[in-house]
Structure 1
Amino acid sequence: MKIEDFLQDSKTPPSGAGGLGIGLYIHIPFCKQACHYCDFHFSTSLKKKDQLVEALCNELILRKNEISGVLQTIYFGGGTPSLLDADELERIFKTIDAHFEISENPEITLEANPDDLTEEKLKMLSESRINRLSIGVQSFFEEDLKLMNRAHNADEAVRCLELAKAYFDNISIDLIYGMPDMTNERWKENLDSALELNIPHISSYALTVEPNTALQKFIEKGVVKPVDDAVAQAHFEILVDTMQQAGFENYEFSNFGKPGYFSQNNTAYWTGKAYLGIGPSAHSYDGNTRSWNINNNPKYIRAIEAGELPVERETLSLTDKYNEYVMTGLRTIWGISLSKIEESFGLKFKEYALQQAEKHLEEHLLFRDGDRIVVTKKGKFLSDGLASDLFLLNLS
Structure 2
Amino acid sequence: MAGIYLHIPFCKQACYYCDFHFSTNLQRKHELVQALAQELVLRKEYLGNDVINTIYFGGGTPSLLSEDELQLIMDTIYKNFRVNPQTEITLEANPDDLSISHLSKLRAAGINRLSIGIQSFDDQVLKFLNRAHDSRAATACVEEARQAGFNNISIDLIYAIPDQDNALWKQNIQRALHLHPEHISSYSLTIEDKTVFGRWAAAGKLKITEDETTATQLEILVAELEDAGFAQYEVSNFSKPDFESKHNSSYWKQEQYLGIGPSAHSYNERSRQYNINNNHRYIESIRRNIIPFTLEELTAEDKINDFLLTTLRTQWGADLKKLKTLYGYDLIFDHRAYIDSLLERKFATLENNVLVLTKAGRLLADKIASDLFLIQ
TM-score when normalising by structure 1:
0.93
Give, as a single letter, the amino acid of the residue that structure 2 aligns with 1:45. N
Aligned to 1:299: 281
How far apart, in 1, do the equivalents of 2:255 and 2:329 lie? 23
Aligned to 2:41: 61
Deviation at 1:320, TM superposition (A): 0.5
How far apart, in 2, do the equivalents of 1:144 and 1:150 lie? 9
- Residue deviations 1:186-220 (CA, integer Å, cap 9, x gap): 11011100111111100000000111110011223
1:208 pairs with one of 175, 190, 197 = 190
* Maintained 8 Å contact 1:341/1:350: no
Q: Do structure 1's residue 119 and structure 2's residue 97 form an aligned pair? A: no
How far apart, in 1, do the equivalents of 2:107 and 2:329 lie? 50
* Maintained 8 Å contact 2:320/2:331: no
**Matching of residues 319-334 of structure 1 within 5 Å:** 319-334=301-316
1:133 pairs with one of 108, 114, 128 = 114
Deviation at 1:355, TM superposition (A): 4.4
Deviation at 1:376, TM superposition (A): 1.1
1:34 pairs with one of 9, 14, 20 = 14
Secondary structure of the residue aligned to 1:75 is strand
**Matching of residues 121-270 of structure 1 within 5 Å:** 121-167=102-148, 168-270=150-252
Secondary structure of the residue aligned to 1:212 is coil
Aligned to 1:8: none
- Residue deviations 1:264-298 (CA, integer Å, cap 9, x gap): 10111111110000000000000110111000000
Deviation at 1:370, TM superposition (A): 2.3
Deviation at 1:357, TM superposition (A): 2.0
Q: Which has the larger displacement, 121-130 or 179-188?
A: 121-130
- Residue deviations 1:7-26 (CA, integer Å, cap 9, x gap): xxxxxxxxxxxxxx101000
TM-score when normalising by structure 2:
0.97
- Structure 1: 5+ residue runs without aligned partners? 1-20
Secondary structure of the residue aligned to 2:359 is coil
Q: Larger relative contact order (C-alpha < 8 A, sep ≥ 6)?
A: 1
Q: Which has the larger displacement, 227-236 or 174-183?
A: 227-236
Secondary structure of the residue aligned to 2:47 is coil
Aligned to 1:109: 90
2:66 pairs with one of 78, 85, 104 = 85
Give, as a single letter, the amino acid of the residue that structure 1 aligns with 2:221. L
RMSD: 1.1
**Matched-pair identity in %:** 48
* Maintained 8 Å contact 2:74/2:109: no
Secondary structure of the residue aligned to 1:284 is strand
Secondary structure of the residue aligned to 2:58 is strand
* Maintained 8 Å contact 2:158/2:189: yes
* Maintained 8 Å contact 2:33/2:73: yes
Deviation at 1:348, TM superposition (A): 4.3
Aligned length: 374
Q: Which has the larger displacement, 152-161 or 26-35?
A: 152-161
Secondary structure of the residue aligned to 2:222 is helix
How far apart, in 2, do the equivalents of 1:232 and 1:268 lie? 27
How far apart, in 2, do the equivalents of 1:295 and 1:137 lie? 25
Secondary structure of the residue aligned to 1:165 is helix
